[in-house]
């Protein structure tokens, strides 16, 4: 749940952001989560009281500041939750947003999932360039003698009663959460007892197995091979080698360099779809369907359907959803949409429910509506005319003159 715009919201954090945190967010997180999610995270942090690190308000206040439509805000918030930067809690009266600290550059790059997703998103060259920005070079300490004093060398202990209760600023880094059906028993059963015992299946190993198996889409048997190749000379798992060996296993199985990260779109049907079409504008729907802002020509089509064809915005939404689906995401011209709108008008389809049932009925029966048949006939006739015109132009060309022009290029 993302909440309604008038819902109350409390925001809290355990610590402030440093300059290094901002660099990690801008250069490592932003290519994955998008500029909108990056802006939302910084905005939530900026709203916090500098002393208490809390804020109380309404969701609409946040949306107004970041200047996004409701759908855009929801998508950005979902991405923050997905990468572990935001935890959301809901009570009957309000929401609580808990901001989580970003990983360090080393933690992010070495992470079995985030580092790989960033690599696949920006490419090897840019990934190496970004990694270098966060590398540091420390001088060797071999020729030095450590003369650092211990605490007990400087201070003397004195007993006193001090109340340490309360909440203090602390740093808890963002961690990815996965819903996984990884079978640990199956994973363990395939390993030799000479190399693995049940006590070695620690929480850290479980978390790593889930993360890597999800990222690369590998089975328990695949992860057994990766695990065995990641053992050091002492027979213990090397967590720095494990992601590399898993990636090699993925490359061997798929022939691909690295997996890509995609946004999982929610499939909405029936009443859920109708409610969704009612809740957003045609502009927002076009952006949602294509993943990019609507073009001016597309918005002009929507305006004409509302002003000329007298369709309500929700009917325009259904029309867009239906047409783009049967056209594999391609946006036809206004005439295409107008023919459908006219057919709906002739059949008295003035409500969203009636139009949806009509569309659904035709789809189930495999019926081709009149407008589609007419449009395809007109389109075929126009294509023939265009082809004929082009052939006439070619036949009138002076081929010798054309040849001489090409020769001089």
Residue 172 neighbours by CB under 8 Å, 6+ apart:
14, 100, 101
Query: How high is the pLDDT of residue 387?
Result: 59
This model's pTM is above 0.85: no
What value does the mean pLDDT take over residues 69-93?
88
Residue 182 neighbours by CB under 8 Å, 6+ apart:
209, 210, 213, 214, 220, 223
Total length of the chain: 409
Angle at the Cα of 133 (from 131 to 135), degrees rounded to 5? Answer: 70
The CA distance from 48 to 56, in Å, is: 9
Interval 151-195: pLDDT, tens: 777 776 655 555 556 555 555 556 666 667 788 888 888 887 777
Token readout for 4 is 């309604």
Token readout for 107 is 């933690």
Query: 75: part of which helix (H) or strand (E)?
Result: helix 70-82
Query: How high is the pLDDT of residue 386?
Result: 58
Interval 229-251: pLDDT, tens: 888 888 888 888 888 888 888 88
Q: In the structure, what pLDDT confidence band is assigned to residue 362 with cuts at 50, 70 and 90? A: low
Token readout for 170 is 């602390």
Taken in order 173, 178, 184, 190, the sign of the CA dihedral is: negative
């Amino acid at each position: 749940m993302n909440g309604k715009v008038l819902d109350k919201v409390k925001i809290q954090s355990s610590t402030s952001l440093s300059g290094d945190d901002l660099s990690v967010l801008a250069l490592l997180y932003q290519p994955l989560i998008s500029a909108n999610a990056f802006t939302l995270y910084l905005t939530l942090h900026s709203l916090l009281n500098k002393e208490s690190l809390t804020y109380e308000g309404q969701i609409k206040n946040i949306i107004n500041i970041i200047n996004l439509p409701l759908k855009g805000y929801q998508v950005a918030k979902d991405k923050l939750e997905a990468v572990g930067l935001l935890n959301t809690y809901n009570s009957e009266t309000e929401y609580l947003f808990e901001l989580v600290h970003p990983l360090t550059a080393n933690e992010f790059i070495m992470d079995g999932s985030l580092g790989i997703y960033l690599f696949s998103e920006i490419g090897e060259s840019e990934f190496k360039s970004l990694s270098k920005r966060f590398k540091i070079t420390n001088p060797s300490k071999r020729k030095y003698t450590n003369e650092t004093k211990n605490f007990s060398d400087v201070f003397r202990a004195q007993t006193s009663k001090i109340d340490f209760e309360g909440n203090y600023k602390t740093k808890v880094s963002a961690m990815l959460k996965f819903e996984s059906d990884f079978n640990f028993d199956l994973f363990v059963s395939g390993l030799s007892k000479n190399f693995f015992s049940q006590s070695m299946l620690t929480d850290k190993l479980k978390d790593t197995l889930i993360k890597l198996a999800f990222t690369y889409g590998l089975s328990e048997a695949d992860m057994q091979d990766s695990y065995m190749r990641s053992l050091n000379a002492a027979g213990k798992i090397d967590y720095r080698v494990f992601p590399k060996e898993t990636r090699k296993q993925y490359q061997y199985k798929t022939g691909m360099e690295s997996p890509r990260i995609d946004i999982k779109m929610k499939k909405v049907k029936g009443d859920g779809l109708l409610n969704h079409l009612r809740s957003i504008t045609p502009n927002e729907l076009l952006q949602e369907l294509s993943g990019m802002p609507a073009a001016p020509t597309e918005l002009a089509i929507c305006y004409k359907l509302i002003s000329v064809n007298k369709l309500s915005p929700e009917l325009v939404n259904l029309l867009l959803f239906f047409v783009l689906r049967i056209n594999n995401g391609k946006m036809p011209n206004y005439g295409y949409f107008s023919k459908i709108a006219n057919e709906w008008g002739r059949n008295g389809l003035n409500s969203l429910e009636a139009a949806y049932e009509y569309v659904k009925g035709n789809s189930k029966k495999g019926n081709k509506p009149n407008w589609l048949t007419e449009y395809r006939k007109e389109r075929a006739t126009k294509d023939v005319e265009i082809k004929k015109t082009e052939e006439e132009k070619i036949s009138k060309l002076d081929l010798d003159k054309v040849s001489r022009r090409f020769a001089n290029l």
